[in-house]
Structure 1
Amino acid sequence: MEIKKIGFVAALTSCVGLAHAEIKIGVVTSSTGPVAMVGIPQKNTVSLLPKTIAGEKVTYISLDDGSDPTASVKAINKLIKENNVDAIIGPSGSPNASAAIGIIAKAQVPLLAPVGTSSIIVPMSEQKKWVFKTTQNDELIATALVEDMVKRKIKTLAFIGTADPYGENWSKVITNLATKNGIKITQKESFQRQDTSLTGQALKLISGKPQAILIAAPGGSAVTPQVALYDRGYRGQVYQTHGAALDQFLKMGGKKVENTILAASLMLVINEMPNTHPSKALALKYMNSYKKSFGEYPATFGANVYDAGLLLEKAIPVALKKSKPGSVQFRQELRTALEKTKELAATQGVYSMTPTDHSGFDKRGRVMITVKNGQWKLLK
């Protein structure tokens, strides 16, 4: 009889432990290396993510990939095989996220990628259905830029982008939109993120005498080509993608990035936004919490990780109703719940996911911004 009682207690204890299983979220960021300007605010933001969701403890396991796609793959493998994570936030770079797609699809682990390129989710496929992108798709940003070009009667445009998935996808997107709107692409150039001199590319771009030039590069790498163009005498209109949306861009570029135009999230011009914007209050909460912890306001790239936390906070309770953390079923249910996200206000816009749209932003996820007197300002 005593043996049966012990067995019953052990079984009961096991059930209780199962009912309160720990949720594990892996995070991979590039807090060192060439992409550190993007990765540092993302790594810091992990401390601001929810510690409990639906009454369950959430543990974040954060790793640095040094901006190296190969290291990203190793880190993600470690999180999956050794830590048995239920989802992964990261990596910071587009090449890094692209390299991870096959791994997370095979393991059936949802990946919330805070990267720029939409090529990680477009076109949708069996592998890409495990990826959710927490930034605006290139097409959403590019459409706003081209609309501005049309208003300014720009007919010729040159392009320079990073020689990786970020720049390559932007090249495709802008060529398509420019052609549809009667804008001729005069020249295309590419460069490596770590390049420090782009004199050759700048001279080639200028030789075509374009009215405007679009630079597609993330973080600090967005500054180098613009400085090269300015130093070689180019004074036409320069456009940037949301990859340049950080205050270091202003500090590094100085007067040489004055009058730049880009489309990005409202965080850069938060004080100019109306209180009725669905993201303003959330963005301010995040920005103030970050400053309290780290002594400065975050780059918008950190918000991409914060929004991943908001998406998980919405989806995890749904998955918990049908499965337990640590299981394949839980990860499957979590993926399904993420895909059904509707009208979730976050720091950069409003998410509404579908089976074919794993970014989910609409026009509320972008504003037109320019640089005036060394400051970000709403473009009016």
Structure 2
Amino acid sequence: MNFRKTLMALVAAVASASALADINIGVSLSLTGPGSGLGIPMQNQFKLFPKEIAGEKINLIVLDDASDPGKGVSNARRFVTEDKVDLIIGSCLTPVAAAMTPVATEAKTVQLAASPVGVPPGQDQWLFRLPQGNDVMAHAMVEHMKKQNVKTIGFLGYTDAYGELWLKALTPLAEKAGMKIVAAERFQRTDTSVTPQALKLVSANPDAMVVVASGSGAAMPQMALVERGYKGKVYQTHAAATQDLMRIGGKAVEGTFVTSGPAVVGSQLPDSHPSKKLAIDFYTNYEKAFGPPNQFAGHSYDAAIALQKAIPIAKAKAKPGTPEFRAALRDAFETMGRTVFAHGVMNWTKDDHWGYTNETGVMLKVVDGKFVVEK
């Protein structure tokens, strides 16, 4: 009897050790609500995620945050308390990801945000961004505006962190380039109309309008500007680089300039572009399984690349499922060096958890309902 108990205890110990070696990843995405156009493509790409990395089984725990910061916080708390995850990925909406960050930080668990999250200096020790920073994308936008001889700009963006960060990024770059933001209006993500804001902006008649919105919500404000008679150039941010922009906006978004990462336009990139091969691989495999992807699906693809490089480094220092492994994973991201993503070249460091360079941004133009790379 004692032998049997001993044998069962050994079997349980082996099973426990085996489970401990699995790498658990909590993924919070906006699968419902206004951000679903971003979250669902990311979820699709996660279905193609590696089942094993560096000899360890990868367990993805995917939860819907319903485009709600409060729900994102609940998901993050479950990840760190119940699921004991080694890593958190999400969310695809900036306000949701920002709300999750304090939970991940307190638990000393790496968060790979799938949106450009800004936090106060020194508070992103455990936060790394998969998307390009707004500064990097605003740089590409302003450089394009120079070539278009833009001198005055109207701004129509979300009232939340994403809109605020874009306004802060765009303003100094535009001023340095001799451009002036002559009118700035804001709106809520949940708004179904921006008529008053559009009227004010159209009356200012700037050379170009910058719309700062995301996913399916990016078309509505631009449609309002066009309906009120605006004839100038319209620029959209990388959160709008989705098929939803054309599906909802139709003719109103024809000719729109959109700043984007290279992931969704791999076949149009020059052979010299370091991301071309990966961007084509991402796009081809996603399209085969689910239809044309958006750039947010590319962040799921890049997360796998980052982990395939970082996990072996972290695993050499500690075992998955432990605080030591979580710390080693953070250190690995900071020291793994130059890494080519489908979205550009990443080089996270201890002092830079954004990582991308100013050469990253690609300018697209909507032509006949499709994105075309601006030469």
Shift of 1:18: 3.3
Does residue 130 of structure 2 align to residue 134 of structure 1? yes
**SS of alignment partner, residue 83 of structure 2:** coil
After superposition, the Cα gap between the structure-2 partners of 1:151 and 1:332, relative to the gap in structure 1 and judged at 3 Å, is: same
- Residues of 2 paired with 1:129 and 1:305: CA distance? 21
Aligned Cα RMSD in Å?
A: 2.1
Residues 182-208 of structure 1 deviation map (CA, whole Å, 9 limit, x = unaligned) = 211111111112222111110011111
Instruction: Count residues with an aligned counterpart.
Output: 374
Shift of 1:364: 4.7
What is the match of residue 351 of structure 1?
346
**SS of alignment partner, residue 358 of structure 1:** coil
Answer yes or no: is the 8 Å Cα contact 2:266–2:277 preserved in 1: no
Task: State the TM-score, normalized to the length of structure 2.
Answer: 0.94
- Residues of 2 paired with 1:9 and 1:247: CA distance? 55
Q: Match for 2:244: what amino acid? A: Q
Answer yes or no: is the 8 Å Cα contact 1:339–1:355 preserved in 2: yes
Residues 319-375 of structure 1 deviation map (CA, whole Å, 9 limit, x = unaligned) = 111111111111000001011132211111111111121121124532121112222
**SS of alignment partner, residue 274 of structure 1:** coil
What is the match of residue 111 of structure 2?
111
Residues 61-113 of structure 1 deviation map (CA, whole Å, 9 limit, x = unaligned) = 11001111100000110111000000011111100111111111110010000
Give matches, 1:97-246, under 5 Å: 97-117=97-117, 119-120=118-119, 124-125=121-122, 127-246=123-242
Shift of 1:16: 8.4
The worse-fitting range, judged by mean Cα deviation, of 348-357 and 365-374 is: 365-374
What is the match of residue 17 of structure 2?
18
- Residues of 2 paired with 1:284 and 1:270: CA distance? 5
- Residues of 2 paired with 1:88 and 1:281: CA distance? 27
Q: Match for 1:32: what amino acid? A: T
Residues 281-321 of structure 1 deviation map (CA, whole Å, 9 limit, x = unaligned) = 22222222223332x02111111122112111211111111
**SS of alignment partner, residue 351 of structure 2:** coil
What is the match of residue 244 of structure 2?
248
**SS of alignment partner, residue 48 of structure 1:** coil
Q: Match for 2:363: what amino acid? A: M
The worse-fitting range, judged by mean Cα deviation, of 244-253 and 3-12 is: 3-12
After superposition, the Cα gap between the structure-2 partners of 1:15 and 1:322, relative to the gap in structure 1 and judged at 3 Å, is: farther
Counterpart pick for 2:360 among 339, 344, 365 = 365
After superposition, the Cα gap between the structure-2 partners of 1:268 and 1:235, relative to the gap in structure 1 and judged at 3 Å, is: farther
**SS of alignment partner, residue 82 of structure 1:** helix
After superposition, the Cα gap between the structure-2 partners of 1:364 and 1:145, relative to the gap in structure 1 and judged at 3 Å, is: closer
**SS of alignment partner, residue 186 of structure 2:** strand
Structure 2: runs of 5+ lacking an equivalent: none
Does residue 103 of structure 2 align to residue 95 of structure 1? no
Following TM superposition, the consecutive aligned residue runs of length 4 or more in structure 1 with deviations greater than 4 angstroms are: 2-13
After superposition, the Cα gap between the structure-2 partners of 1:30 and 1:5, relative to the gap in structure 1 and judged at 3 Å, is: closer
Q: Match for 2:51: what amino acid? A: K
Residues 141-200 of structure 1 deviation map (CA, whole Å, 9 limit, x = unaligned) = 101111122222222111011111100111111112112222111111111122221111
- Residues of 2 paired with 1:266 and 1:27: CA distance? 24
Give matches, 1:233-312, under 5 Å: 233-294=229-290, 296-312=291-307
Shift of 1:12: 9.5
Shift of 1:13: 7.8
Answer yes or no: is the 8 Å Cα contact 2:155–2:211 preserved in 1: yes
Shift of 1:41: 0.5
Residues 264-286 of structure 1 deviation map (CA, whole Å, 9 limit, x = unaligned) = 12233322212332222222222
What is the match of residue 40 of structure 1?
40
Q: Match for 1:21: what amino acid? A: A
**SS of alignment partner, residue 302 of structure 1:** helix
- Residues of 2 paired with 1:151 and 1:140: CA distance? 18
**SS of alignment partner, residue 320 of structure 2:** coil
Q: Match for 1:355: what amino acid? A: K
The worse-fitting range, judged by mean Cα deviation, of 130-139 and 184-193 is: 184-193
- Residues of 1 paired with 2:332 and 2:7: CA distance? 35
- Residues of 1 paired with 2:8 and 2:143: CA distance? 68
Q: Match for 1:109: what amino acid? A: T
The worse-fitting range, judged by mean Cα deviation, of 65-74 and 15-24 is: 15-24
The worse-fitting range, judged by mean Cα deviation, of 16-25 and 320-329 is: 16-25
After superposition, the Cα gap between the structure-2 partners of 1:267 and 1:319, relative to the gap in structure 1 and judged at 3 Å, is: closer
- Residues of 2 paired with 1:217 and 1:350: CA distance? 25
- Residues of 2 paired with 1:191 and 1:50: CA distance? 39
Q: Match for 2:97: what amino acid? A: A
Answer yes or no: is the 8 Å Cα contact 1:18–1:324 preserved in 2: no
Question: Alignment identity in percent?
Answer: 41
Q: Match for 2:335: what amino acid? A: K
- Residues of 1 paired with 2:263 and 2:21: CA distance? 36
- Residues of 2 paired with 1:252 and 1:82: CA distance? 40
Give matches, 1:47-66, under 5 Å: 47-66=47-66
Q: Match for 2:42: what amino acid? A: Q
Shift of 1:60: 0.6
Answer yes or no: is the 8 Å Cα contact 1:25–1:61 preserved in 2: yes
Does residue 341 of structure 2 align to residue 328 of structure 1? no
